[in-house]
Amino acid sequence: MAMTPQHSTTHAAAQTAPVRKKDRTHWLYISVIVAVVLGAAIGLIFPEVGIALKPLGTAFVALIKMIIAPIIFCTLVLGVGSVAKAATVGKVGGLALVYFLIMATVALIIGLLVGNLIHPGTGLHLKPYDASGGGDSNATVDFLMSLIPGDIPVLPTLVLALLVGFALQSMGKAGEPVVNGIRHIQAVVFKIMMMIMWTAPVGAFGAIAAVVGATGWAALGSMAILLGAFYLTCALFIVIVLGGILRVVTGLNIFRLMKYLGREYLLIFSTSSSESALPRLIAKMEHAGVSKAVVGITVPTGYSFNLDGTAIYLTMASLFVSSAMGMPMSLPQQISLLVFMIIASKGAAGVTGAGLATLAAGLQAHRPELLDGMGVIVGIDKFMSECRALTNFTGNAVATLLVGRWTHEIDLVQARSALSGASPFDELALEADGHATAAVPAEAEAAAEQPKELTPVH
């Protein structure tokens, strides 16, 4: 039977449609889980062998330390430019940035409060790897460790990055070639970071084997406490903090919003990254009645500056390492660490290992001796990544609705209808709209100039 032109076109489109490949980081995640299980088993069954594997975890941490300064420099230089560019779109950008800063601070404070309440890691008494001598020193291991470049001081790098960022911003168009050059350098740095992360299974295997070999079941119990506390803290943050603000400002229900974003949560959980759901969040927020201008500014900016789950992770993980090393942080050190994390966590969203690198940067800047205790975090970091990503994603969805309400750029009738299911989201429309990339601030600024027809907000 002959094909009609319409059937022929459809058949051809089906043949030429690209096949979506599974993200390779999915296998990295599985490898880390397997490595952690094997490491724990080795540590429990053969404690001496587990302890001897400690250099594997130490080497991985050393590689992370090596890349910290380049990441901090590139992301902050470009981040300063992003802040200034987002601010130029006016009221929407200004409100979004102020809100992001406040919520990041709240999340960090909550992480500190919970960490000080439960004291995760207490009693592990982790010891750093000593390559300077002693009966356990191994010449081959020491030689291999010496091949890893030393780390660059973080705080001077941070100050220099801020100065360079503001200088380039003040230069206007004359500074754009330099900014573009740094963006290319950043791509290389992130590629190196990804290469390092592919060694995470080896590092996690050695770190967990050594910790469990030295402390037995106590290590597994401490890590379970940290994981449980982190998941519970993120859940309470979403329901109480984000849900409370959403209810007060817009009258919308956080549970209905989460049900509305159910497919996106499944996508994030399978990839351990909120970046995978960015196009869908843009489309769904527009369907929920928020104007294109607000969505185009708030969502992409929030992906770099509104990382609530990451903020909670950074502070709780820092306190876990300090307790596990038997070197608790004083209150002034915790406060200075909080300020550092607020600055250093900006601009590296969606990069595999960025949270781990930021944690290492904070410890190196404030308590360098604690870096050797990060090996145990490497082993459970992947178990925390889904929760971080889900919290970050929910925070950005809530932020978009709030900014839309504050700027009177939201149709609340449509929002209630979308979240209740009365106006279901059309999955086919997502493909037709071609939401493949996030709107950039310049596009959002152009959209902001277009007239809107929205239901008045009372």
Domains, the chain = 85-131+218-448 (1.10.3860.10)
Q: Return d(Cα 313, Cα 292) in angstroms, integer.
A: 32
What is the SS3 assignment for 410? Answer: strand
CB 350 within 8 A of CB 281: no
What pLDDT does residue 389 have? 83
180-183 own/partner pairs: CB under 8 Å, 24+ apart: 182/74, 182/77, 182/78, 183/74, 183/78
Q: What is the distance in angstroms between the CA of the first residue and the CA of the last residue of the chain?
A: 60
Tell which residue, 230, 237, 228, 231, has the closest CA to residue 105.
237
How is residue 369 annotated by DSSP?
A: G
What pLDDT does residue 197 have? 78
Give backbone dihedrals phi and psi of 290, rounded to 5 degrees, phi first. Answer: -85, 140
Q: Return d(Cα 233, Cα 312) in angstroms, integer.
A: 8
Q: Return d(Cα 218, Cα 340) in angstroms, integer.
A: 31
What pLDDT does residue 399 have? 93
CB 70 within 8 A of CB 189: yes
Token output for 366: 């404030």
Residue type at 6? Q
Ordered DSSP codes for 31-59: HHHHHHHHHHHHHHH-HHHHHHTHHHHHH
Tell which residue, 209, 251, 155, 137, has the closest CA to residue 379.
209
What pLDDT does residue 121 have? 67
Q: Return d(Cα 441, Cα 168) in angstroms, integer.
A: 18
What pLDDT does residue 144 have? 77
- The model scores a pTM over 0.75: no
What pLDDT does residue 434 have? 41
What pLDDT does residue 12 have? 43
Give rounded-to-5 percent helix, strand, coil for the chain.
80, 0, 20
**Number of CB atoms found within 10 A of residue 50's CB:** 25
Ordered DSSP codes for 272-314: T-GGGGHHHHHHHHHHTTB-HHHHHHHHHHHHHH--HHHHHHH
**pLDDT tens for the chain, residues 1 to 458:** 444 444 444 444 444 434 444 556 667 777 878 888 898 899 888 988 888 888 888 788 788 778 877 877 887 787 676 556 655 556 777 788 889 888 888 888 888 888 888 877 666 666 654 544 444 556 777 777 777 776 677 678 878 888 888 888 788 788 888 888 988 998 888 788 878 878 888 888 888 888 788 777 877 787 888 888 899 999 999 999 999 999 999 999 999 999 999 888 887 776 656 666 777 888 899 899 998 888 887 887 787 777 788 888 888 888 888 887 778 888 887 888 777 777 766 544 545 556 677 777 777 777 777 777 776 777 677 778 778 888 989 999 999 999 999 988 899 999 999 998 888 887 665 554 444 333 344 444 444 444 444 433 44
CB 106 within 8 A of CB 245: no
